Amino acid sequence: MTGRDAPFRQLPGDTARPARAFWITAGDGITLRLAHWHGAADRRGSILLFPGRTEYVEKYAQVAGDLTTAGFDVLGIDWRGQGLSDRLLADARIGHVGDFSHYQRDVAGMVAAATRMDLPRPWHLLAHSMGGCIGLAALHRDLPVSSAAFSAPMWGINLRQMPHGMAVGMAYLAGRLGRGGSPAPGSGGAMGTYVLDESFGANLLTADADAWCRMVREAAAWPDLTIGGASFGWVGKALNECSRLSRLPSPPLPAIVGLGGQERIVSAAAIRDRLARWPEASMLDFPDARHEIMMCKPERRAAFLEAALALFGALP
């Protein structure tokens, strides 16, 4: 049994198989949207899909199509504060969270739903960006998966020229002044939507024009799924969580990590530091890729997904 049905959007002419979306309620009363794509007849397990900040389940419809064709069920989530899940501020355009530990309540609700649905085992984790931060924390809380594939995981944030301590201090001061829910400068899109505000040539997400156009079409068609910049509160809590995770050992399970050579959103140094301390994990370098490896040029996207499926046991 799952929750009552929720909307799942499709662009006109989209041939990707839609998911069955439904609502669940987290332990603290937040309503969350989940989406389930049923695997092929020869089902080989299930993949828990942890998206990044600003994302929504529809964005992964094509990726889910590849994974279900390979025989896996896929269960994705809209994190609290984004997509069609409950927004956390009166101004719903601002990306916010009270504390990063609250995302683990979303994970707990997702795992409970997967258990009620009796999704085929073994389970595996596929996580992108902020989802990689949430996923690493969840692995330390015994997330019941056998392996994990990370795309540009947010184990640190690329602050450009700003020192880490200054960024944390600014977020703390904003909170003390009652502005923790205000948008932080430079956090992506301010009050707009990044893919509608930025040009293709200057964007930090993908060098693939087709993938970029799809993101733009989705954002224009479904503005209620999008959010703008992050709040000072989100930035401060995210930096603190990355620092906390950096002090923890690596979980004892096999993993792969995809990283683009043109990564400018998360910290490549933090990712490489983690990999140096994770004997069972391996790195996949994509020198000409940006942040969105799963929405990258077709050959790069295929290489990452083939490596993930090999890890998950779908390929010889």
Quote the CA–CA distance of 238 and 78 in Å, as a whole number: 18
Domain count, the chain: 1
Q: Considering only CA atoms, which of 312, 286, 303 is closest in space to residue 152?
A: 286
- Residue whose tokens read 């007849």: 41
Q: What is the pLDDT of residue 25?
A: 98
Q: Considering only CA atoms, which of 167, 316, 148, 314 is closest in space to residue 240?
A: 167
120: its two tokens? 């085929």
Would you say 292 and 306 are in contact if contact means Cβ atoms under 8 Å apart?
no
pLDDT-above-90 percentage for the chain: 85
Indicate the SS3 state at residue 296. coil
Q: How far is CA 146 from CA 45, 253, 313, in A?
A: 10, 7, 10
Q: What is the pLDDT of residue 190?
A: 47
Domain presence at residue 14: no
How many Å separate Cα 136 from the centre of its chain?
12
The region that residue 309 occupies, defined by phi over 0 for left and psi between -120 and 50 for alpha, beta otherwise, is alpha
pLDDT tens readout for residues 100-151: 999 999 999 999 999 999 999 999 999 999 999 999 999 999 999 999 999 9
DSSP string, 148-213: EEEES--SSB--TTS-HHHHHHHHHHHHHTT-TTSBPTTSSSTTS-HHHHS-TTT-SS-S-HHHHH
Q: Confidence class of residue 57 from pLDDT cuts 50, 70 and 90?
A: very high
Quote the CA–CA distance of 58 and 5 in Å, as a whole number: 15
Domain presence at residue 35: yes
Domain presence at residue 2: no
Domain presence at residue 221: yes
Domain presence at residue 7: no
Q: By residue range, what is the domain housing residue 43?
A: 20-312
Q: What is the pLDDT of residue 4?
A: 94
Q: What is the pLDDT of residue 10?
A: 96
287, HSE (Cβ side, Cα atoms, 13 Å): 0
Domain presence at residue 308: yes
Domain presence at residue 185: yes
Domain presence at residue 285: yes
pLDDT at 300 over 50: yes
Q: What is the pLDDT of residue 52?
A: 98
**Is the bond into 279 cis (omega within 30 degrees of 0)?**
no
pLDDT at 167 over 90: no
* CATH code, 196: 3.40.50.1820
Q: What is the pLDDT of residue 315?
A: 64
Quote the CA–CA distance of 9 and 167 in Å, as a whole number: 37
pLDDT at 189 over 60: no
Q: What is the pLDDT of residue 192?
A: 72
Model confidence, pTM: 0.95
